[in-house]
Structure 1
Amino acid sequence: MPGLVRGVARTAVVAGTATAVSGRVQRRQAERFAGRDAQIAAERQQAYEQQAYQQAPPPPPPQAPGPDLVQQLKDLAALRDQGVLTEEEFAQQKARILQA
C-alpha cells in the first residue's frame, strides 16, 4: 500500500506542476498576443482613417448669398416700379426670397 500511495502522490505532484506551468505559459502568451493585437488594431484603424480621409469629397465652396439675393430684390423692386407687380405680390415674393 505505501508504494501505491507514493505513486499516486508523485502523479499528483507532476500533474499539479504541469498544470501550473501550463497556466503560466498561457497567461504570458495571452499578454504578448494582446499587445500585438492592440498594435495591429491601431494600425488598421489609422489606415482606415487615412483611406476615408483621402476618399472623402472636398466640401463645396461656400456661396456668397449677398449679391445674388440683393440682385433678386432689386429686380423685384424694378418689376414693382414698372407696374408689373402689385404691392401685395411684391411683398409675397420678397418674403419668399428672404426665407430661402
Structure 2
Amino acid sequence: MLGRRMRRGGLIRAAATTAVVAGTATAVSGGMRSRRDAKDQQAAEAAAYEQEQQQAQMDAAAQQAVAAQQAAAPVAAPVAAAPAAGGDLMAQLQQLADLHTQGILSDDEFAAGKAKLLG
C-alpha cells in the first residue's frame, strides 16, 4: 500500500505541475498576444493618421487649384461674355446668366454685361 500512495502522490504532483506549467504558458501567451495586439493597433492608428494627413494635403492642393482658377476667371470672363456682333440678344443674355450661375462672373460683372447688352 505504501507503494501505491507514492505513485498517486507522484501522479497528483505531476498533474499539479502540468496545470501550473499550462497556466503559466497561457498567461505568457496572453500577455504576448495583448502586446502584439497593442502594437498592431498602434500601427493601424499611425497608418490612419498618415492617410488623413495625405488627404488633407490633397484637399488643400485642390482648394488652391480652384482658387487659382477662380482668380484667373474674371480676366477671361469678359472675353467669354463679350457678345458676338449681330447675335441674338436672348442667347447672349442666357450666356451671361449661365456664366453668372457657374460662378465665373460676379454679380457686378453680370450686371455690367447685361447693361452693355441692353444698351
In structure 2, the residue corresponding to 1:34 is in which secondary structure?
helix
Is 2:52 the counterpart of 1:49?
Answer: yes
SS of residue in 1 equivalent to 2:62: coil
**Aligned length, in residue pairs:** 78
Alpha-carbon deviations, 1:20-70, whole Å to 9, x = none?
A: 101210222123223222221222122212222333442212556222221
Q: Does 2:72 align with 1:68?
A: no
Task: Kindly state the Cα deviation for residue 16 of structure 1 after the two structures are TM-superposed.
Answer: 0.7
Q: Does 1:4 align with 2:12?
A: no
What's the CA shift for 1:76? Answer: 4.4
Give the match for residue 58 of structure 1.
62
TM-score after normalising by structure 2: 0.52
Structure 1 residue identity aligned to 2:35: R
Identity percentage over the alignment? 17
Q: Counterpart of 1:29?
A: 32
Unmatched segments (≥5 aa) in structure 1: 79-100
Letter of the aligned partner of 1:36 in structure 2?
K
Bigger shift: residues 40-49 or 67-76: 67-76
Give the TM-score, by structure 1 length: 0.60
- Aligned position for 1:16: 19
Partner Cα distance (2:39, 2:116) in 1: 68
